[in-house]
């Protein structure tokens, strides 16, 4: 089973380079499976590239603003969730 845990919110989107600026409320690292959801947005992807202060990073913590490479268009206010496998949503 899997569950979703909110890890941040999109504050800006750069369509020419497919990068979302995300204000994190929890940690994220390369390889994490994420889901982006909003009024008209809904997709899953693996975190393959992210930056902070124009430097590539492998891990980011709550409170950071990061640039996250996304595979689809996102919108300001969309929420970013980490998909946690092996977690029972009912508990």
Q: Which domain holds residue 23?
A: 2-85
Q: What is the pTM of this model?
A: 0.90
The per-residue pLDDT for range 20-47, each reduced to its tens digit, is: 999 999 999 999 999 999 999 999 999 9
Does residue 90 lie in a domain region? no
Confidence of residue 18 (pLDDT cuts 50, 70, 90): very high
Handedness of CA 41, 45, 49, 52 (dihedral sign): positive
Which token pair is 44?
A: 């899953």
Burial of 86 (0-12, 13-18, 19+ CB in 10 A): exposed
CATH of the domain at 34: 2.40.30.10
* Residue 91: inside a domain: no
In a domain, residue 71? The reply is yes
Residue 68 belongs to some domain of the structure? yes
Total domains, the chain: 1
Calculate the alpha carbon distances from 26 to 5, 6, 87 in Å: 9, 8, 17
């Amino acid at each position: 089973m899997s569950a979703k845990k909110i890890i941040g919110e999109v504050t800006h989107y750069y369509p020419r380079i497919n990068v979302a600026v995300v204000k994190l409320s929890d940690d994220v690292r390369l390889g994490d499976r994420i889901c982006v959801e909003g009024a008209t947005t809904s997709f899953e992807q693996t975190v393959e590239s992210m930056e902070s202060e124009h430097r590539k990073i492998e891990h980011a913590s709550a409170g950071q603003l990061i640039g996250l490479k996304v595979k689809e268009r996102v919108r300001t206010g969309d929420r970013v969730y980490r998909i946690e496998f092996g977690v029972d949503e009912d508990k």
